[in-house]
Amino acid sequence: MGILVRILSGACLVAASVTTGAAAAAPSPLDEIAAPAMQVLGTITGQVTDSRTTAGMASVQIYIPSTSHGTLSNSSGRFTIAGVPAGTYTVRAQLIGYATQEQSITVTAGQTATVNFALGTEAVSLDALVVTATGEQRARQIGNSLTRVTSREIEVAPARNTQDLLMGRAPGATVLQNSGQPGVGSTIILRGNNSISQGNDPIVYVDGVRIFGGSTPQHPQARQSASPLNDINAADIERVEVIKGAAATTLYGTEASGGVIQIFTKRGQTGAAQWTMEATFGANRAGRLGTDADPTGMWLRTCAGPNNVSSDGKPFVDVTCPESGSWLQTGPMQQYALSVKGGKQDIDYYVSGNFSDEQGIIKDAGGTAGGGLSANFGFRPIEGLDLRLSTALTRRNTDWLPSGDNGDGFLLNVSRGFGSNFTGAAGCDAGVTCVQNGRILDMTNASKATHFITGLSVEYKPGERISNRFTVGYDYNVSEIESIRPFGYPRYTKGDMTDRNWRRALLSLDYVGTLSNSFRNGTLTSAFAWGGQLFSDDAYTLSIDAFDFSGPGVPTLTSAARRDVTNDSRLKVTNAGFFAQETAALNDRLFVTVGGRLDGNSAFGEGFGLQFYPKVSLSYVVSDERFWNWEWWEVMKLRFAVGESGKAPGAFDAVRTWTPIAGENGQPGFTPGQVGNSELGPERSREYEVGFEAGMFGGKLGVDVTYFNTTTMDALIPVRRPPSQGFLGTQLENVGELLNTGFEARVNFDILRRKGIDWKGRVDYSTLHSEAVDLGGQEITVQTFGRTYIKEGYPVPGLFGLKLTNPDEFADPIWEENAFVGYLYPTKSIGLNTSVRLMERVLVDAVAEAKLGGHMINANGYQNGRRGAWFPCYEAQAKYRSLSTNPAAEADVTALERARCALNGGRVAPTYDAWIESTDFIKLRSVSVTYDLPQGLLPGTRTASVQVAGRNLWTSTDYTGSDPELNDYRGSLSRRDYYVLPTFRTFLASVRVTF
Amino acid sequence: MSRHTMKGVALGAALLLAGCDGLLDVTNPGPINDADLNTTVAMPALVVGMSADLSAAVSTTAIWGSLWGDDHFHSGTLGAPTIFARGIIASIDIDPWWGDVQRARWVAENGIERMKEVLGTGFEAYAQTPRAYLHAGYANRILGENACNAVFDGGPAEDNKVAFTRAEQHFTEALRLATALNNTTLKNAALAGRAQVRTALGNWTGAVADATLVPIAYRYDAQFSLNTSREGNGFQAVTLVRGEYTVWNTQWANTTDDPRIPWVKVLTSKGAQAMAANGVTPWYRQQKYLDDGAEIALAKGTEMVLIRAEAALRLGDVGGAMAFINQVRTYHALSALTATTLAEAWPILQSERGKTLWLEGRRFWDLRRWNAATGPEKNTFLDGKDKCVPIGEYERLTNPNIP
């Protein structure tokens, strides 16, 4: 073995945790590598083509199983694997959507061996590798559904981030945009709300490193949050996997009941350095701004002219309205990305950088700019040992526009016209109300975020049957959120400032070991996995308000006469767990998996100790059986899974506490904090999932159907105590039971496939039934003004309030009190995707999405309508006003119109309830046309493509507010459209070049 | 092989955890464990906490009560006040008030019990003890004056007068201990508070006896400051920055020359009347509390004089009553008023009490008790309106003793 063996033995001593003494006890894997290492090496090369179209296929994994030799095909389908020891190998070509192929090849020292693959489509890829809590497994082994957004989809999707990627591409996932502000984070809910009190954010892994999956603190003026998940640039993402329910997330432990999103970033590949440069230019433009009945677009589209009148005809002038007569602008955006990837025999690398700058649709206000660097290095010092270091750093500055339920909110004031809080400006004629909404833009509303993710993964496979992987990860988020109302600001002339510093650091340690065995000549196999995880979450928030500046200028906190520390929270929680799982397989077609996880969490009460979450799943590839004689039906896999996962209560929820406060002009005092509950434990979600995956007609049709039933037991419910007992807050108790059931289906199909055209389609459909089965007899108020409550027998959450019983009658409204009005969040989703490749060079891709069954309060309508500042009500209000002279004026005004258009002090009292509306919508989420330029057209390049694309191009909805997927109640189970800026359209043109 | 590997893994894990001391620590600095308050050094802060929670209750009562009692007219968009403006005070809308008042009462009464336990024999001589009793007394007074029914510590609904009785006991204890400590300020606060609740209990003789001992210039305030937002009185945001409340259309909208009722019309740059937050109601802005740090009175010597005036009227002594009323007016540099009959004097007294106690969260109680009367003091403002604050929705839903 010579020198190499000695060096590597030393390495083993360093890596004592995995291989102490192993080299002497068994035939060393080092023997296997040391011998060929002294030989001269050979090269494997070839091309992968589509079996039908004969076109070269990019991004196909070409590798020699059980070795580290492998690469990805380039855009013309060609590949080269250098440094392969002489010998005979099986080479595998694999790409999701295509049937995996293997070919045998002999590599001769110093020679190049050629092997070509012609892959045929496969609607169901049973041999595709997916990543589970125990490592990679073939899809055929998995007993639960899993949704992937593949690299091919990502390439054509005009998406900025993961949340964009998931819209319309993951059945069972609800992704709502929340606001039309650049930089805002979306809400992601997988299979409904399984928790009332502990949040429903999925947990997120990036290259095996757990990152913070929630949102930053809200900006106090924008009332919106960013999502650190979006800091990962879409151009760096290789694929995304979504694991939706407790049956699949058991081994991820406490906190995983909201599902798991796994993001895999791009890696290097063996070969010369390949650079990719991408430049995108575009524009954001306003789309739908409320209903067509409002010619002014809530006075955003036109802020001057004859329509600047109240419903009783009183004119107003906004003296700060831009010269264009509109608050809208075409917001420019630019985005650049540069990456290089490559590698040699034992090293691969992918390094990238990106920068983007995007402006919103309101003139000279709102935008986000930032960039990042990421690096992904792989190193295989010896056969069987794989080291991988992934690091990403992102910085982003966002300018927010005041928004939502906020007296300084831009839409609140502009859309109220004459009723703006910024009245009193000079420059208007007598009798004309003079407003100055432009003064809102005197404010500074910014956030500066830094996000650092790093992870080191060490995988050691001392033999074909055993593997060990240890991952240490660190996710570090820092954000400074700042709001300044300057000296002289109309609504607070002395000026004030809020500064919020937020830090969230997550440290994770994971170990997974696997041991596989086969018996009876391979007909019976076993894969046993064991492992553990330690996860530490360190959260820090410091908020300081400062008031009364001495004079003009750019202030700091010390510029103010008074300062108030409003929040200083330093919370550290640790979760640790161990798991084991056995997957037994019969004839590689029937797989039974049994596993469990033992979890401890610092927040559990003394009586709970460790928690055990079990799982069982079954996968049966029935189409591999001999009796399966339907040639047209190539693949049929049946799935069943049941498993549990949990959500932990907050740290110290078990303890009775008092909160320090100040009183009597700065003297220290206490006030009741939390009642405390020493019996507190995690809530536990148990999910049953059954489904099948089928592939038919030569891969032209694929069907994936799942039914799930999730019961959350011991649900953590915020229970109130009688206020007369002094503690006004709620106390978590394990008293509830929630139920979510649903149906998810995905159908992939070839529409037309012949030389020169490859047209595919996909339809996703999902439903959700949600019910609070048991709340310990109480009702939970989520948001009174959002009319959002949780009641036994109704969805989590539901909308309750006054229900109009005679909406279409020409009469005054008749209300049914305390009525269930409907689901808050959508209950049905339809995702439509089609892609057409023409003449091998043009690819057209479109994604549309329908979200049905949800409801929301259009608070804009309520607030503006009652003031006489809601155009759709002008006609009805004119009739109401003329009643004194024309008693029949209201004869053709329906009860719904009378309810919605009721004026302050009028006969019919205005009420929010009249504005609870269906939020059903269909949106064209994205359309892209990509053209691959002929090779050689651009000298010095390998490939080049241009793309034109659009996002959110079209919306169809009966909702009368500004946008049906907005939310002013971020961080709450409720949602409400309360002067939130509507989402906008984006038009993009990009160039991508590799060289 | 696998056995060696497993040993290696265990060793590695042990080394890792040992090398990362503190990795499993869980911390949540800030909140204070309940048991940690059982020490003498925590007592001053405990009493300050009572004061702070009482101030919060006073703030909510003064702001919302200004609508209930016609000190303000509703001109905004906030949910509960919109309903109050229609004369409706519903359980579902008043949880913030109910919570603030109940917390103030419970914190003070529970704190007194904790002080007794911690201080032992030193309890009565402790300088902060009379203040604790005052906080408990005034919190009960606010509960009794505004609530339809009193509820204590998760118990059943009781007559609101039970809160007055409880308050009287607390004030009596405060008076005894303040007297022993020779603390005149606290002694006057106890006398004034007891006079207030004795009037509510119909003990006018006792009330006058206490009121007579309090100087006219005396005032005892709920403490507010600009130090932190929690310490603010809350008026700034809803009356100065934003016109959620207006003086327009109240009984005081025509009173322009009385220093006890300071308000101004908000005008546009053209000099026209500006509208308040709802866009349609004229904005008359109160000027009594010019920022959030302004104190709100819990008791004043001027009110004590007016208690004596009302007691005189109840005895038919119009001249005596007017003398007391004019004593207050003189104190405020206002000209004297005249009345010769009860029918003339009662409206004057009611008006003078309203002006003296404007925006202090007291008018609703006065209107309530005068509305319930049948004699010349009958006041009809609350006819057709809710006359007291019902038990809060949260209390109703969570207290098993409330049917």
ipTM score for this prediction: 0.92
How many Å apart are CA A399 and CA A415, to the nearest integer? 21
Read off φ and ψ for residue A624, nearest 5 degrees.
-85, -5
| Region A463-488 average pLDDT | 94
Are A824 and A799 a contacting pair, CB within 8 Å? yes
How many Å apart are CA A671 and CA A727, to the nearest integer? 9
- Where residue A608 falls (left for φ over 0; alpha for ψ -120 to 50; beta otherwise) is alpha
Q: Single out the residue of B403, B343, B355 nearest to residue B379, CA to CA.
A: B343
Nearest CA in chain B to A419: B279
Which chain B residues have a beta carbon less than 8 Å from that of A421? Answer: 242, 277
**How close A953 comes to chain B (CA, Å)?**
35
Beta strand A117-119 pairing with A41-50: parallel
* AA identity, residue A448: K
Test A666 with B228 for CB contact under 8 angstroms. yes
E strand or H helix that includes residue B170: helix B161-181
How many Å apart are CA A44 and CA A42, to the nearest integer? 7
Tell me the angle at which helices B318-331 and B301-314 cross, rounded to the nearest 10 degrees.
Answer: 160
pLDDT tier at B26 (50, 70, 90 boundaries)?
Answer: low
- Name the more confident of A397 and A271: A397
Question: Does residue B352 sit at the A interface (CB-CB below 8 Å)?
Answer: no
Question: Does residue B249 sit at the A interface (CB-CB below 8 Å)?
Answer: no
Q: How far is CA B370 from the centre of its chain?
A: 20
Question: Does residue B11 sit at the A interface (CB-CB below 8 Å)?
Answer: yes
Test A724 with B151 for CB contact under 8 angstroms. yes
Q: Is the pLDDT of residue A17 over 60?
A: no
| Region B23-48 average pLDDT | 82
**How close B339 comes to chain A (CA, Å)?**
38
pLDDT at residue number A504: 96
Sign of CA dihedral A781, A783, A787, A792: negative
Test B52 with A419 for CB contact under 8 angstroms. no
**How close B91 comes to chain A (CA, Å)?**
13
pLDDT at residue number A251: 82
Question: Does residue B42 sit at the A interface (CB-CB below 8 Å)?
Answer: yes
How many Å apart are CA B81 and CA A817, to the nearest integer? 20
Which chain A residues have a beta carbon less than 8 Å from that of B77? Answer: 863
How many Å apart are CA A868 and CA A886, to the nearest integer? 20
pLDDT tier at A603 (50, 70, 90 boundaries)?
Answer: low
Test A672 with B13 for CB contact under 8 angstroms. no
Q: Single out the residue of A592, A720, A731, A719 nearest to residue A656, CA to CA.
A: A731
Cα angle vertex A785, ends A781, A791, to 5°?
25
Q: Is the pLDDT of residue A20 over 90?
A: no
Q: Is the pLDDT of residue A268 over 90?
A: no
pLDDT tier at A608 (50, 70, 90 boundaries)?
Answer: low
pLDDT tier at A840 (50, 70, 90 boundaries)?
Answer: confident
Strand partners of residue A647: A683
Q: Is the pLDDT of residue A128 over 60?
A: yes
**How close A671 comes to chain B (CA, Å)?**
6
Q: Helix, strand, or coil here: A52?
A: coil
pLDDT at residue number B29: 67
First vs last C-alpha separation in chain A: 41
The Cβ-side half-sphere exposure at A403, using a 13 Å CA radius, reads 31
From residue B90, alpha-carbon distances to A23, A542, B98 in Å are: 79, 38, 11
And the tokens for B163? 């809160």
**How close B172 comes to chain A (CA, Å)?**
23
Sign of CA dihedral A127, A131, A137, A142: negative
From residue B214, alpha-carbon distances to B191, B300, B326 in Å are: 7, 8, 17
Test B24 with A574 for CB contact under 8 angstroms. yes
Interface of B with A in 155-174 (CB under 8 A): 155
Cβ neighbours of residue B23 closer than 8 Å, sequence gap 6 or more: A507, A534, A536, A574, B17
By Cβ distance, the residue of B53, B86, B153 closest to A671 is B53
How many Å apart are CA A74 and CA A56, to the nearest integer? 9
Question: Does residue A666 sit at the B interface (CB-CB below 8 Å)?
Answer: yes
Using only C-alpha atoms, chain A has a radius of gyration, in whole angstroms, of 30
Q: Is the pLDDT of residue A27 over 60?
A: no
Q: Helix, strand, or coil here: A375?
A: strand
How many Å apart are CA A411 and CA A223, to the nearest integer? 13
Cα angle vertex A150, ends A450, A89, to 5°?
115
Cα angle vertex B207, ends B206, B210, to 5°?
85
| Region A450-455 average pLDDT | 97
Q: How many residues are present in chain A? A: 995
Are A682 and A611 a contacting pair, CB within 8 Å? yes
Are A922 and A850 a contacting pair, CB within 8 Å? yes
Question: Does residue B142 sit at the A interface (CB-CB below 8 Å)?
Answer: no
Nearest CA in chain A to B1: A22
Q: Single out the residue of A47, A124, A135, A152 nearest to residue A93, CA to CA.
A: A47
Percentage of chain A lying above the pLDDT 70 cut: 94
pLDDT at residue number A95: 79
Cβ neighbours of residue A351 closer than 8 Å, sequence gap 6 or more: A339, A340, A341, A373, A374, A375, A376
Which chain A residues have a beta carbon less than 8 Å from that of B394? Answer: 720, 722-723
Test A18 with B55 for CB contact under 8 angstroms. no
How many Å apart are CA A58 and CA A61, to the nearest integer? 9
Test B5 with A18 for CB contact under 8 angstroms. yes
E strand or H helix that includes residue A286: strand A271-286
Question: Does residue A669 sit at the B interface (CB-CB below 8 Å)?
Answer: yes
Question: Does residue B38 sit at the A interface (CB-CB below 8 Å)?
Answer: no
E strand or H helix that includes residue B370: helix B363-372
Question: Does residue B223 sit at the A interface (CB-CB below 8 Å)?
Answer: yes
How many Å apart are CA A15 and CA B8, to the nearest integer? 9
Q: Is the pLDDT of residue A531 over 90?
A: yes
How many Å apart are CA B246 and CA B70, to the nearest integer? 10
Q: Which long-range contacts (CB under 8 A, 24 or more apart) does B367-375 make?
A: B367/B69, B367/B70, B368/B145, B369/B200
Number of CB atoms found within 10 A of residue B131's CB: 24
How many Å apart are CA A918 and CA A915, to the nearest integer? 10
By Cβ distance, the residue of B16, B24, B107 closest to A672 is B107
**How close A40 comes to chain B (CA, Å)?**
31
How many Å apart are CA B396 and CA B402, to the nearest integer? 6
By Cβ distance, the residue of A424, A660, A721 closest to B398 is A721
Q: Helix, strand, or coil here: B330?
A: helix
pLDDT at residue number B22: 52
Cβ neighbours of residue A668 closer than 8 Å, sequence gap 6 or more: A660, A662, B44, B45, B48
Q: Helix, strand, or coil here: A74?
A: coil
Interface of B with A in 56-75 (CB under 8 A): none
Strand partners of residue A385: A460
Q: Is the pLDDT of residue A970 over 90?
A: no
pLDDT digits (tens, 9 = 90+) for A214-248: 899 999 999 999 988 889 988 899 889 998 878 78
Nearest CA in chain A to B278: A867
Query: Of A31-35, B60-64, B92-96, where does mean pLDDT reach its minimum?
Result: A31-35
Interface of B with A in 95-134 (CB under 8 A): 95, 98-99, 102-103, 105-107, 110
Sign of CA dihedral A288, A289, A290, A292: negative
Cα angle vertex B358, ends B354, B362, to 5°?
75
pLDDT tier at A979 (50, 70, 90 boundaries)?
Answer: very high
Q: Is the pLDDT of residue B194 over 70?
A: yes
Nearest CA in chain A to B9: A17
Interface of A with B in 882-941 (CB under 8 A): 904-905, 909
Question: Does residue B275 sit at the A interface (CB-CB below 8 Å)?
Answer: yes
Beta strand A260-265 pairing with A203-206: parallel
Q: Is the pLDDT of residue A80 over 90?
A: no
Q: Single out the residue of B57, B220, B56 nearest to residue B140, CA to CA.
A: B57
By Cβ distance, the residue of B225, B241, B275 closest to A666 is B225
pLDDT at residue number A11: 28
Question: Does residue A487 sit at the B interface (CB-CB below 8 Å)?
Answer: no
Question: Does residue A725 sit at the B interface (CB-CB below 8 Å)?
Answer: yes
Place of tokens 């696998």: B2
Q: Is the pLDDT of residue B150 over 90?
A: yes
Longest dimension (CA), chain A: 109
Interface of B with A in 312-341 (CB under 8 A): none
How many Å apart are CA A995 and CA A277, to the nearest integer? 8
Tell me the angle at which helices B301-314 and B204-212 cross, rounded to the nearest 10 degrees.
Answer: 140
Q: Helix, strand, or coil here: A299?
A: coil
By Cβ distance, the residue of A421, A572, A720 closest to B26 is A572
| Region A707-714 average pLDDT | 93
| Region A166-176 average pLDDT | 85
- Name the more confident of A981 and A520: A981
Nearest CA in chain A to B399: A722
Number of CB atoms found within 10 A of residue B309's CB: 27
Read off φ and ψ for residue B326, nearest 5 degrees.
-70, -20
**How close B55 comes to chain A (CA, Å)?**
9
Mean pLDDT across chain B, nearest whole number? Answer: 92
Test B32 with A662 for CB contact under 8 angstroms. no
And the tokens for B302? 């001027």
